[in-house]
Structure 1
Amino acid sequence: MQRTAVVDESYWLATTPETRYPAPDTDLTADVAVIGGGIAGLCTAWELTRSGLDVVLLEADRVAAGVSGYTTAKLSAAHGLRYARLEAEHGADDARLYALSQQEAVERTAGLCADLGIDADLEGAPALTYLRDSERVHELRDEAAAARRAGLDASFVTDTELPFAIAGAVRVEGQLQFHPRKFLLALAEHLTRAGGRVFERARVTGLHDGHRCRLTTEAGGTVRARDVVIATHYPVFDRTLLFTRLTPRRELVLAAPVPSAAAPTGMYLTPEDGVRSLRSAPYDQERRLVIVTGESFTPGTGDVRERYARLDAWARAHVPDFARADTGYRWAAQDNDSLDHLPYVGHAHPGTRHVYVATGFGGWGMSNGVMAGGLLTAHITGGPRPAWTDLYDPRRLPPVRDAGRLAAQQAAVAKHFVGDRLHTAHVDSIADVPPGSGAVMRLEGRRCAVHRDASGQVSVVSARCTHLGCLVHFNDAEQAWECPCHGSRFATDGSVLHGPATHPLEPRGTPDPPA
């Protein structure tokens, strides 16, 4: 982006205040401890508190400033070409339950905004999945028919407001878009007013599962609770064994204000061109913010700057006035894909009665986060279970048809775990690392992650991810270390940005001064 000002930050974070909830300074007890202050954690904590339970929410950093603060904020039951696949792989009944649960979440969010008086820039908008390849139109017709059978107001169309020709699209009515941070910060305030307790800078590093669960935090304190909800996006405790059935991915986001007349009013998605998503949001009286998403990739792989350049080129070619905007934003969203394309929401593993998890949202965290809040509350309170409870049960066994996917996923992890150790770095010494860059190299017999900032200051940390030991890679565009195995992310000083890792990369002492 060659603009007067480009903000390397999520628009949602840039336009909302920072939170200042306290860090825990004493041991805590509660009925339920919720780990994670994103949409799944906050919705779960709110629903449980409304049900009369004593709830503690523990966020490692700041609430709604992690994955939920970097979303594209589409609140929809239309998830691309999803329903034809669900019907084929899981059956028509499961496809219907999926649609019912997702649409209920859309309507639940609108109801919460109305009931609590939350101004979250909520707008109704149709969701459209389009293709430009005429030879693939049959996929759209099949998807529209499957979505209708699942209960959605879906149709096949050939005309849209897009300023370029398409072969066709699946259009689903009755969907929403909103400002996620405005919604979640307001929900956190209502949560505390209702008696819930919210703590920040409270990273959980240990979990003892039993009749009375015990959590330990980074600061050394403990939290005792009857039930625990792990809503950390990627489960931070490996005893769930879900890490073998989750694949992390990141997507890049560009946003810029354009005249309102040039902005789309619908929410658009195409699996073509490496996947592209397009929508707009309120900006000022004369302009709307156009949000373009794409370039899906595994964390720690590929040239992220090059990916941003490709996405920017696509936006300039397909969105009127995008290139002429005087300002812009860029950020990246991260999510996890489950093996069978369905989230995991419920008991974390077969051996537990008191630990629950919500993960594997597959890029649709807004609707699934709200859905998870209701489903987990039903589990914990013993209330009526939704019809889709079994559909999302994390204890479900992978079907035989997914054996190939599971093998391919584990082979990819093994390739990084072993192959990256055999890879030779393209730099021979710390002096070869240019400003604003990072490299993994062997120093004194150990693999180290070396970063040099713009001023020339060098930091050296262990290159072994503290989750399961894969070697991290440097993301040059976001200036972060990323694990390609399970998606953990670290700042250049080694501190944890994103789990499943809960411990920082170990410091490796003071490096020799540059030559």
Structure 2
Amino acid sequence: MAANSTSASTSIWQASTQVMPTGPLPADASADVCVIGAGIAGLSTAYLLSRQGLKVIVIDATGIGAGETGRTTAHFFPPDEWYANIEDDFGPDQAALVASSFASAIDMVEDIVRKEAIDCEFERLDGYLYALPGNGFRDFDKELAAALRAGVPAQWCDRVPGLPFDTGPGIRYRGQAQFHPLKYLNGLAQAIVKYGGKVHGATRALKLAGDNNMQMVSTEHGEIGARSVVVASNTPFNNRLVMHTKQAGYMTYVIGMAVPQGSLPRILLWDTGDPYYYVRLSGSGAPAGHEVLIVGGADHKVGQEAQPASHHAGIERWAREHFPMAGSVLYRWSGEVMEPADGPAFLGRNPMDNDNVYIITGDSGNGMTHATIGAMLVRDLILGRANPWSKLYAPSRKVIHGVSDFIGEQVNTLAQYRDWARGSELRSLAQLQPGQGAIVRQGLRKLAVYRNELGGLHVLSAACAHLGCVVHFNQLERSWDCPCHGSRFDIDGKVLHGPAATPLEPSSLTPPA
């Protein structure tokens, strides 16, 4: 498909796939379940429920995979927090539940790929965690012991085999996986339709209202009445505050470089440095005789980086140092991940709604895995089945682990409101070049001003439509990003990423520029 028109960068998946077209909701409708979001979380949930004979409608503000699923690196790997930390915080029994849920997610995807004959390059392979000398956590003995206690098929390795650099010791996690995410979503969407479901793009959910018997989903094109609603939009728009104090939005950066086919082993690779890097290979989108080396990392809080493109440059320097066979950079992109304060994702009933509203959020860099776990868990809740993971991942749980990180995130968020006391970023609008944006103060107002390639100005209120934080311009993606709770908007103010549910308000300069 073509690059998302709201984004200045294109992922390898977007460049190498035509997604199934989806028209908008044609009129008011009803369903057993309305799923909001056509990424992996939403389509996986809709697929599993459709297989159970429920009538399901999926809606998405843009289309299939147009959000964060199309901007992932699409790997299945152990949790970011590692089993040693999970065991310390939650105990060995809960660590074992995390391990079983992660393994079940990979098994579920593999089973769906087989049943529906989805050609999405799904591949089982080994993953390796390592730490270069002097660069981060090296307590691998503790991690290996915790992983084995949790039932994970892991083993010690003196170095990762087949690489052009010495990684030093690490841990091998057997039976991990990777795939092409948009090809997988295409297969899911086609299967949903086959089982009687419907998928509508260009249909933004605006609000929910209802009771435990029926929810009404208001959209731009009509209302959908449903007995249950699943909000699978990466971060919930229907929850104004509570969930957004429990997780924070981070930007992550990815490049894809050409490497000769067969020059590197087909593995997943993850280090423990700061910044950290994760690595995989893909056969899609590569020149003849080559594969694409995908390297990502260098995360930072959304809206809190003045030079986002520098992260791509840093990743490229690291990649060329460690993979000298790497050729030209074919792809550069970024995405947003939601980091829960205490580690596990938030999957299940939304704590601020009726019992028939569910959320899937808090992907924490394991979006493919957590989304699939969330789909299985929400399916069971809707069908009234017991699920062993429900308490572990409950969105209503109190943050009693990772409290220092939780407090730090709240302090960071509150500090962003100081932007209202600051002046303009420009002395004069004449400084604003085409393709650039800046915050301009006019009296008590703060305006987000972008100059397009023809010299025209796009003027918006700089107050985020979620909770009023001042947005910052993202030069790399040409978007307005909120540094408080991770909402993102395009240059015309349209929502790219929640929790904001409405656009930035249009405004004007006085006197006109």
TM-score class, shorter-chain normalisation, is over 0.9
Structure 2 Cα separation of the partners of residues 170 and 471 of structure 1: 43
Structure 2 Cα separation of the partners of residues 319 and 273 of structure 1: 19
Pair 511,13 (structure 1): closer, same or farther in 2 beyond 3 Å: farther
Instruction: Find the counterpart in structure 2 of residue 70 from structure 1.
Output: 71
**1:513 Cα deviation from its structure 2 partner:** 7.0
TM-score (norm 2): 0.94
AA of the residue aligned to 1:35 = I
Structure 1 residue 366 corresponds to structure 2 residue 368: yes
Structure 1 Cα separation of the partners of residues 134 and 427 of structure 2: 51
Pair 351,214 (structure 1): closer, same or farther in 2 beyond 3 Å: closer
Instruction: Find the counterpart in structure 2 of residue 288 from structure 1.
Output: 291
Instruction: Find the counterpart in structure 2 of residue 23 from structure 1.
Output: 24
Structure 2 Cα separation of the partners of residues 166 and 198 of structure 1: 45
Structure 1 Cα separation of the partners of residues 402 and 80 of structure 2: 21
**1:446 Cα deviation from its structure 2 partner:** 1.4
Instruction: Find the counterpart in structure 1 of residue 394 from structure 2.
Output: 393
AA of the residue aligned to 1:313 = R
Contact 1:84 1:146 in 2 (8 A): yes
**Deviation string, structure 1 residues 14-50 (Cα, Å, up to 9, x no partner):** 1111432111121111111111111110000011111
Instruction: Find the counterpart in structure 1 of residue 231 from structure 2.
Output: 230
**1:395 Cα deviation from its structure 2 partner:** 1.3
Instruction: Find the counterpart in structure 2 of residue 426 from structure 1.
Output: 425
**Deviation string, structure 1 residues 38-68 (Cα, Å, up to 9, x no partner):** 1110000011111111111111111111100
Contact 2:348 2:381 in 1 (8 A): yes
AA of the residue aligned to 1:320 = P
Pair 513,305 (structure 1): closer, same or farther in 2 beyond 3 Å: farther
**Deviation string, structure 1 residues 339-391 (Cα, Å, up to 9, x no partner):** 110111111016521111111111101011111111100000113x2221211
Secondary structure of 2:166's aligned partner: coil
Matches within 5 A, 1:121-132: 121-132=121-132
Secondary structure of 2:295's aligned partner: strand
**Deviation string, structure 1 residues 166-220 (Cα, Å, up to 9, x no partner):** 221111000111100000111101101110011111111111131211111134x
**Deviation string, structure 1 residues 113-169 (Cα, Å, up to 9, x no partner):** 111100101122111111012696751121111111111110121222221122211
Structure 2 Cα separation of the partners of residues 135 and 26 of structure 1: 56
Instruction: Find the counterpart in structure 2 of residue 354 from structure 1.
Output: 356
The equivalent position to 2:308 in structure 1, one of 304, 310, 319, is 304
Instruction: Find the counterpart in structure 1 of residue 3 from structure 2.
Output: none
**1:264 Cα deviation from its structure 2 partner:** 3.8
% identical aligned pairs: 33
Secondary structure of 1:166's aligned partner: coil
**Any gaps of 5 or more consecutive residues in structure 1?**
1-6
Contact 1:280 1:290 in 2 (8 A): yes
Give the root-mean-square deviation of aligned CA atoms. 1.8
Contact 2:136 2:274 in 1 (8 A): no
**Deviation string, structure 1 residues 92-133 (Cα, Å, up to 9, x no partner):** 000000000011100111111111100101122111111012
Contact 1:34 1:231 in 2 (8 A): yes
Structure 1 residue 147 corresponds to structure 2 residue 147: yes
Secondary structure of 1:262's aligned partner: coil
**Any gaps of 5 or more consecutive residues in structure 2?**
1-7
Pair 428,119 (structure 1): closer, same or farther in 2 beyond 3 Å: same
Instruction: Find the counterpart in structure 1 of residue 276 from structure 2.
Output: 275
Secondary structure of 2:262's aligned partner: helix
TM-score (norm 1): 0.94
Structure 2 Cα separation of the partners of residues 388 and 441 of structure 1: 48
Matches within 5 A, 1:359-508: 359-383=361-385, 385-399=386-400, 401-417=401-417, 419-443=418-442, 445-508=444-507
Contact 1:204 1:215 in 2 (8 A): yes
Instruction: Find the counterpart in structure 1 of residue 320 from structure 2.
Output: 316
Structure 1 Cα separation of the partners of residues 509 and 423 of structure 2: 23
**1:252 Cα deviation from its structure 2 partner:** 0.4
Contact 1:279 1:291 in 2 (8 A): yes
Pair 497,138 (structure 1): closer, same or farther in 2 beyond 3 Å: closer
Instruction: Find the counterpart in structure 1 of residue 257 from structure 2.
Output: 256
AA of the residue aligned to 2:140 = L
